[in-house]
Each structure stands twice: as C-alpha cells, then as structure tokens.
Amino acid sequence: MKADLMPKPLLIENGTVLTLGKTSKVLPGYSVLIVDGLVAKVAPKAAIRNFRGKRIDATGKVVLPGFINAHTHFYSSFARGLTKAKPSRDFNAVLKNLWWRLDSALTTEDCYASALVALLGSIRHGTTTLIDHHASPKAVPGSLLAIERAVRQTGLRACLCYELSDRDGARIAGEGLAENAGFIRRCQQQGDSQVKALFGLHASFTLSAATLERASAIGRELRTGFHIHVAEAQSDQDWTLRHCGRRVVDRLKQFEILGARSIAAHCIHVNRREMDLLAGTKTAVVHNPQSNMNNAVGVANVIELVQRGALVGLGTDAMTTNMLEELRVALWGQHLRSENPSVGFRETTSALLAGNPKIAERIFGLRLGEIAEGGAGDIAIFDYDSPTPLESGNVLGHLVFGISQTEADTTIVGGRVLMENRKLALDLDEARINARARELAAALWKRI
C-alpha cells in the first residue's frame, strides 16, 4: 500500500480477543493496535496509552483474525435464483447444463459486477482474503483486470486466475494463456499485498497435453503456482486414464503443475498414492464440502489426506461467503463419511484456521489467520456475548457451534475498516451495486 493510502492507526478495545493461530489464546479485555496495516500490539487495555487514531469499541464482541476462502468463483454470484438449468444426472451434466452456459454468457461488466456481489458478501461474513478461479470464455481479455478493480474497491485481499481450458477451442485457450500470463506479470510488477495471481487451469479432462505444456512453461518462467480442479468427480479420473494412460495427479506431476505454490481444489477421487504425491510436492489441497455434496460427487477424505501429510485448506466453491458455515458442513461431512461422530474435528477446523493461512501466506507473503504482533491487520469482529465459558481450550467449539450462528459486525483489512457495526464503510453504494447486478443477471439469464 502506498504511504498516502495507509489508514490511520486503529485501536480495537474492550472485546474478547481470540488470537487463533499456533498459540491460540482467548484474551478478554485485550486491545489490538494496528499501525501501517500490521498488528503492532496485543495487550491489556491499560498497557496502551496516549493513543491517537481511530478507536473501535468491541464490548460484548469477539475479535478474530479475518477468515480466508481458499477456493471460490466470484462469477457464480449470478447463478443465484437461476431456474433455467435442466436437471442434471451427474457432474459433467451440471457443468454443461449450468456452469458452462452461464460462464459463456458473461461479459466483462458481468465479471466486475458479480465479483462485487461476492466481495461485499465476504465483508458481511468477516472473510478478508479470497482465492478466486475465474471463467468467462466469451470475454477473456481484461476479465481479471475488471475483477481486480472490484477487489480494490472493496479493500479485500484476493488472488485471481483465469480458468484455462480447451473446451472452447484453440483461440479461447490462447486468450486464457495470455490472460493468466499478463495478469501474473502485472501483479508481480505491482508487488502489493492486496491483489495476487496464480496460473488458472480448469481441470485435467478439459486440457490437452499441448495446452498443459504451454501453461507449464509459462508458469515456470514466471515462477508462479497453479490453481486447478483435481478429481472433483470420478469422470476426471476416467477421462484422464482413458486419454492419457495415467491418473490425474500423476498427469499434473508430469507437467510440473504440482508444488508448494499450487492449489489442487477438491481431490475427492484421488487414491493413496496420489495423496502421497500431493503431500510430497507440498501442493495445497482445498476441500469444498458444500459444493461437493450439492453436486453429489462425494466427500473428500480429509482425515486421510491430513494423515498422509497433505496441506489441506477450505474453500466454498462459491456456495457461500461464510467460512464458518462451510466449516460446519466440512465437519458433518467427515462424520457422515466415516460413520463416526467423533472424527474429523481437528482436521476440518485446522483446514480453515491453519491450512488456509498457510496457503494464503505463500501467496500474499504476509502472516495471516492469527492476531499476533507483526501479522496482517485483518480482523473480523463478531457480535458474540458468549452464554457459556469461552476459554483457550474450547475456542473451536465456540466457532463451530456459536460464533457461526452470529453476524459479523465489523470487518477490517490491513487496518482499513471496510464495515463497522454492520454498515459498509466503503465508497460504494451497496443498493446501487445490487440493482445493477440484478439488471445484468437478468440480461445474462436471457442470453443463456
């Protein structure tokens, strides 16, 4: 952030601070001081004197690090209420009947407006960092710039990519390659900690060897990671085995797509060897349980992925902007999958609270997901006057069963207040944004 754009020092006081992070602590009555975008001090109220700047009173509230969404699609905002899709028998039919018809009808303004809707929803739920995966095959060039504009207007952090695919032919695949490469270069030149890029790939079953080879070469040259859907349905494995003679994760390894900078979303239909490959290459696996259940593609084996050493994070795949809602479903999903109500709590809570910060830190180069001195000043304040004891040992239970049921009150990124007392503190008119989005979505639905 440029010095003149840097927000004034900010002091959050009188709340109960839930630091989360490695040394997760509950600190009632502590203050959090944010200076130059970073947490400068976490201390008892009396220890911070002579403060000049903006104060936020968090009486009766909990103060948490902002949440991270490690896989989403902003453009999906325009599918809300769409009734035109035919019933689909399986996942490939869902793509053909719904998503590929929708994304093929998107204009550049749709990309911008749908992103704004998703970003404002994220602010409302205390989600402060998002990793997006974008597709608009009939409006590829400039689509990431349009989304970047929305991200900067909302003040959130986001990592963007364009979903490269061969499904629309060679010309559009070429545009996808160029859109990724251009936007990655732009982010590298800008070098700020708000907007970042990865190289986006749709999925193995829509990518030819030639296209993967080109993407891989550009990715290596730009020293960037990839963001791709992996074995979301068994059909991805079936196609890859049939056409390439190997399994999906092996194929990605062959093209040097895996690695510590890369994200493999879903990973439901991977075998143990593929899990070991993901873990061994330090590739981040992002679990999206609500989307997977909605598409009836299965539930990823998060417990075994973690046991085998994979870094697992949590995304919403655009089903919600509320990370605590997604966390709850992740937990129920592991219970149901294992037919055991006592497993998966550590693995699912860690996916959101440890996995996502680690994934985002690799991209943004900031300490995230923890209220700690030197960490990013990204904060979510929830209205939660706990009716039962809230202590360092039971924070996770309060998140899953209590805080998830309350509303985010205030959302802060890098010390900049984006929402305060549930009112947006941005130079944006939410009602006008929604009105324009309704017009655009109606026109889009007509084109489908």
Q: Which residues bind Zn ion (CB under 5 A)?
A: 317
CB 316 within 8 A of CB 291: yes
CA distances from residue 340 to 330, 331, 345, 348 in whole angstroms, order as listed: 14, 11, 11, 14
Q: Which is nearer to Zn ion, 317 or 326 (CB)?
A: 317
Task: Return the bridge partners of 200, or none.
Answer: 227
CB 224 within 8 A of CB 198: yes
Three-point CA angle 370, 77, 448, nearest 5°: 155
Q: How far is the CB of 198 from Zn ion (least distance, A)?
A: 13
Q: How many CA atoms lie within 13 A of 55 on its CB side?
A: 12
Q: Which one, 168 or 317, has the nearer CB to Zn ion?
A: 317
Q: What DSSP letter does each residue of 369-414 carry, written as one string?
A: SS--TTSB--EEEEE---SS---GGGHHHHHHHTGGGS-EEEEEET
Q: Which residue is nearest to Zn ion (CB)?
A: 317
Shortest CB 250 distance to Zn ion, Å: 21
Residues found in the chain: 448
Least distance (Å) from Zn ion to the CB of residue 16?
35
Indicate the residue among 103 and 317 with the shorter CB distance to Zn ion: 317
User: Which one, 236 or 317, has the nearer CB to Zn ion?
Assistant: 317
Q: How far is the CB of 73 from Zn ion (least distance, A)?
A: 6
Least distance CB 326 / Zn ion (angstroms) = 13
Residue 286 beta carbon to Zn ion: minimum distance, rounded to whole angstroms: 9
Find tokens 């304040």 and name the residue.
Answer: 381
Q: How far does CA 437 lie from the centroid of its chain? A: 22
Compare residues 103 and 370 and give the one whose CB is closer to Zn ion.
103
Give min distance, CB of 230 to Zn ion, in A.
Answer: 10
275/307 Cα distance (integer angstroms) = 10
Q: How far apart are CA 444 and CA 437, in angstroms?
A: 10
69 vs 411 by CB, closer to Zn ion: 69
| Closest CB to Zn ion among residues 76, 281 | 76
Distance CA 211, CA 340 (A): 43
